[in-house]
């Protein structure tokens, strides 16, 4: 029997795309017989019932038969921003465990999952999972997911978040308090003279590094490897703020601002207690939490490590000459033992979208660009060739490399799309959140329409029904405002 439901918006400002996504989500979840806009939200007539409506992303609550029901999403966000709800929360649940650079909006991932109308027991893949935004949203909805990332720190953080959802918060809190207490009581940790330590001493004062190592030793006393990983993620999130690196700078540059007055051991205690309290609230809210698996592997070689067939892909891939993810997080990578200092540059150069390349690689990609040996679609190849023609002697070595780096990026993305097509079930859907970017060559600014280029690549490997939706972004300020992405898009296409 159909009922009337009044859907009430969250009490914060929305971008136009969010209301558009909200409408599509209502259509997918509620299959409404009638939809009417009201000053406070939407009035719908549906036979799907109240429980389905509580799964919606962009509404605070709903009223049916005179009774108000809160949505699950509004309750999740309240764990991070409080009940006032006057701003959108994005660090709810375990999303705030680590401020990994390059995250995308978890509400978008949740809404897209709903619009895809996935079957029961669906599996979702994120081939550029980063710190796990899509994977965690899948878990919140009881969906099984697999993520992949070539960056070992990203895979480490994402797995820690997924594990935390399945570990009783009380057990995690007990372990965290034991580690904090032990680190506070222990004597100054003797600092060895191995390669790892010598590198870290370049970026931490001896006193701070001793505190960090005391935390590591205390955490490693815990017998559960999952808990050790989670607690180390909390420490990792604090390393930049307590280092001699300028925290606001994505590149490794010497600090100009003063070090925090609060010790990193005290900061760890506070952070862990806060994050675990949010986790406890989430575990009380959700009864069916999906499992996730994270692979530290290259998205261009997914078929070598996964034989699973997926119903959907949701991801936010990098764009050409993207954030220096390895450089930005090198302190965590070295401290956690995930990368030797000597391997940082090579690891950075292997990322899809990297702005780094070895000299031997440059020669290979210059030849590929000239002859299109990677067989990119004509439009994509000609765009890269056009960039080459804009170069002049005033362009430095980084700008001289932009055309071949873009060609390499597009080649890598085409390989990834080919892998995805092999791993997806027929009629499976792909959702990509990707930003526009730009470069300056020959004294002129050139906009790079990355969504258009990726749509062309997807079509070239056989994906169909390609749709583009604009996602307005927040205005960025500060040190990286000039280079910030000003516009993003949601690309949607299907396996035929």
Percent of the chain clearing pLDDT 90 (strictly above): 75
Q: Which two tokens stand for residue 335?
A: 């401290």
pLDDT of residue 486: 58
Helix segments in 302-430, DSSP class H: 302-305, 325-328, 330-335, 344-349, 359-371, 378-390, 397-400, 402-423
Q: How far apart are CA 146 and CA 424, in angstroms?
A: 13
Q: Are residues 252 and 190 in the same domain?
A: yes
CA distance to 56, 181, 189, 381, 488, per residue, from 105 (Å): 15, 35, 39, 31, 11
* Residues paired with 312 in a beta bridge: 124, 429
In a domain, 93, yes or no: no
Q: Which two tokens stand for residue 178?
A: 């034991």
- The residue ranking higher by pLDDT, 354 or 131, is 131
With tokens 């006032």, the residue in question is 84
SS3 category, 384: helix
Q: 285: how many CB neighbours lie within 10 A of its CB?
A: 14
- The residue ranking higher by pLDDT, 306 or 109, is 109
Q: Are residues 242 and 307 in the same domain?
A: no
Q: What is the tens place of the pLDDT at every residue in 51-84?
A: 999 999 999 999 999 999 999 999 999 999 887 7
Q: Are residues 370 and 453 in the same domain?
A: yes
Q: Exposure string (b/e) for 133-150, b if CB count within 10 Å is 16 or more?
A: bbbbbbbbbebbbbbbbb
pLDDT of residue 191: 62
Instruction: Give Cβ neighbours of residue 465 (< 8 Å, ≥ 6 apart).
Output: 492, 493, 494
pLDDT of residue 477: 34
In a domain, 255, yes or no: yes
CB–CB of 49/3 below 8 Å? yes
- Residues 40-56: what's their mean pLDDT? 95
Q: Tell me the residue length of the chain.
A: 496
SS3 category, 122: coil
Q: Are residues 184 and 213 in the same domain?
A: yes
CA distance to 12, 109, 110, 136, 203, per residue, from 132 (Å): 25, 11, 13, 6, 28
Q: Is the pLDDT of residue 121 over 70?
A: yes
- DSSP readout, 201-254? HTTS-HHHHHHHHHHHHHHTT-S-HHHHHHHHHHHHHHHTTTSSB-TT-SS--B
Q: What is the tens place of the pLDDT at every residue in 304-360?
A: 988 889 999 999 998 887 777 788 899 999 999 999 999 998 888 888 888 887 767
We report the CATH number of the domain holding residue 444 as 3.40.50.150
- Residues 171-191: what's their mean pLDDT? 87
- Residues 225-243: what's their mean pLDDT? 97
In a domain, 485, yes or no: yes
Q: Are residues 280 and 385 in the same domain?
A: no
Q: Are residues 461 and 410 in the same domain?
A: yes
Q: Which two tokens stand for residue 446?
A: 């050139």
- Residues 231-255: what's their mean pLDDT? 91
Q: How far apart are CA 39 and CA 51, in angstroms?
A: 23
pLDDT of residue 271: 98
**Widest CA span of the chain, in angstroms?**
73
Instruction: Give Cβ neighbours of residue 74 (< 8 Å, ≥ 6 apart).
Output: 10, 59, 60, 61, 85
Q: How far apart are CA 175 and CA 198, in angstroms?
A: 30
CB–CB of 264/204 below 8 Å? no
Backbone angles phi, psi at 59, to 5 degrees: -115, 140
pLDDT of residue 272: 98
Q: What is the residue-averaged pLDDT of the chain?
A: 91
Closest by CA position to 59, among listed 114, 96, 102: 114
Closest by CA position to 63, among listed 48, 44, 82: 44
pLDDT band at 189 (very low <50, low <70, confident <90, very high): low
CA distance to 3, 62, 70, 403, 418, per residue, from 67 (Å): 13, 8, 10, 59, 49
Q: What is the tens place of the pLDDT at every residue in 418-451?
A: 999 999 999 999 999 998 888 888 888 999 999 9
Q: Is the pLDDT of residue 483 over 90?
A: no
Q: 171: how many CB neighbours lie within 10 A of its CB?
A: 12
pLDDT of residue 475: 42
Q: 296: how many CB neighbours lie within 10 A of its CB?
A: 18
Closest by CA position to 272, among listed 82, 96, 79, 130: 96
Crossing angle of helices 169-185 and 225-239, in 10° steps, is 60
pLDDT of residue 357: 75
pLDDT band at 479 (very low <50, low <70, confident <90, very high): very low
- Residues 81-99: what's their mean pLDDT? 89
pLDDT band at 193 (very low <50, low <70, confident <90, very high): confident
Q: Are residues 22 and 59 in the same domain?
A: yes
In a domain, 270, yes or no: yes
Q: Are residues 31 and 114 in the same domain?
A: no
* The pairing of beta strand 444-448 with beta strand 437-441: antiparallel
Q: What is the tens place of the pLDDT at every residue in 248-277?
A: 877 778 999 999 999 999 999 999 999 999
Q: Are residues 144 and 176 in the same domain?
A: no
Q: Which two tokens stand for residue 78?
A: 């309240």
SS3 category, 124: strand
Q: Are residues 270 and 351 in the same domain?
A: no
In a domain, 296, yes or no: yes
In a domain, 451, yes or no: yes
Q: Is the pLDDT of residue 467 over 80?
A: yes
Closest by CA position to 158, among listed 281, 293, 283, 271: 293
- Residues 382-409: what's their mean pLDDT? 90
Closest by CA position to 463, among listed 425, 410, 416, 417: 417
Please give the residue range of the domain that contains residue 134. 106-150+289-326+340-494
pLDDT of residue 437: 87
Q: Are residues 351 and 488 in the same domain?
A: yes
Q: How far apart are CA 61 and CA 228, in angstroms?
A: 38
In a domain, 232, yes or no: yes
In a domain, 19, yes or no: yes
Q: How far apart are CA 216 and CA 236, in angstroms?
A: 10
Q: Are residues 316 and 445 in the same domain?
A: yes
pLDDT of residue 210: 93
How many domains, the chain?
3
Q: How far apart are CA 191 and CA 327, in angstroms?
A: 24
Phi-psi region of 261 (alpha: psi -120 to 50; beta: other; left: phi over 0): alpha
Q: What is the tens place of the pLDDT at every residue in 204-223?
A: 999 999 999 999 999 999 99
Q: Is the pLDDT of residue 476 over 70?
A: no
The answer to whether the predicted template modeling score (pTM) of the entire model surpasses 0.85 is yes
């Amino acid at each position: 029997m159909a009922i009337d439901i009044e859907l009430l918006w969250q009490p914060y400002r929305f971008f136009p795309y969010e209301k558009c996504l909200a409408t599509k989500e209502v259509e997918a979840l509620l299959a409404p017989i009638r939809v009417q806009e009201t000053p406070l939200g939407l009035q719908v007539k549906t036979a799907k019932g109240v429980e389905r409506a509580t799964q919606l992303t962009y509404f605070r609550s709903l009223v049916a038969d005179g009774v108000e029901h809160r949505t699950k999403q509004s309750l999740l966000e309240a764990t991070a921003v409080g009940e006032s709800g006057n701003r959108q929360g994005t660090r709810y649940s375990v999303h705030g465990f680590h401020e990994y650079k390059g995250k995308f909006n978890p509400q978008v991932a949740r809404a897209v999952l709903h619009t895809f109308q996935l079957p029961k027991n669906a599996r979702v893949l994120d081939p550029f999972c980063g710190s796990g935004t899509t994977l965690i949203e899948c878990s919140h909805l009881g969906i099984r997911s697999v993520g992949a990332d070539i960056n070992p720190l990203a895979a480490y953080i994402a797995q820690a978040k997924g594990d935390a959802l399945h570990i009783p918060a009380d057990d995690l809190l007990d372990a965290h308090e034991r580690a904090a207490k032990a680190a506070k009581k222990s004597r100054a940790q003797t600092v060895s003279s191995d390669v790892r330590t010598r590198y870290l001493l370049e970026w931490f004062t001896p006193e701070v590094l001793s505190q960090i190592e005391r935390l590591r030793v205390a955490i490693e006393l815990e017998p559960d490897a999952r808990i050790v990983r989670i607690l180390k993620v909390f420490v990792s999130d604090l390393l930049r703020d307590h280092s001699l690196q300028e925290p606001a700078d994505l590149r490794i540059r010497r600090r100009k601002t003063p070090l925090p007055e609060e010790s990193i051991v005290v900061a760890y205690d506070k952070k862990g207690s806060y994050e675990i309290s949010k986790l406890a609230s989430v575990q009380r809210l959700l009864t069916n939490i999906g499992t996730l698996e994270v692979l530290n592997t290259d998205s261009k070689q997914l078929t070598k490590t996964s034989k699973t067939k997926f119903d959907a892909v949701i991801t936010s891939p990098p764009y050409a000459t993207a954030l220096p993810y390895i450089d930005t997080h090198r302190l965590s990578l070295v401290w956690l033992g995930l990368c030797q200092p000597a391997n940082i540059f090579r690891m950075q150069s292997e990322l899809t979208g990297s702005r780094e390349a070895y000299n031997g690689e440059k020669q290979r990609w210059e030849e590929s660009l000239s002859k299109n040996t990677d067989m990119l679609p004509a439009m994509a190849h000609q765009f890269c060739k056009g960039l080459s023609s804009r170069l002049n002697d005033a362009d430095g070595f980084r700008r001289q490399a932009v055309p071949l780096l873009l060609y390499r990026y597009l080649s890598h993305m085409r390989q990834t799309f080919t892998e995805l097509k092999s791993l997806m079930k027929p009629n499976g859907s792909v959702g990509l959140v990707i930003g526009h970017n730009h470069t300056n060559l020959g004294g002129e600014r050139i906009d790079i329409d990355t969504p258009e280029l990726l749509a062309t690549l997807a079509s070239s490997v056989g994906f169909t029904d390609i749709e583009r939706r604009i996602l307005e972004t927040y205005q960025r300020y500060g040190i990286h405002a000039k280079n910030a992405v000003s516009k993003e898009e949601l690309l949607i296409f299907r396996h035929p």
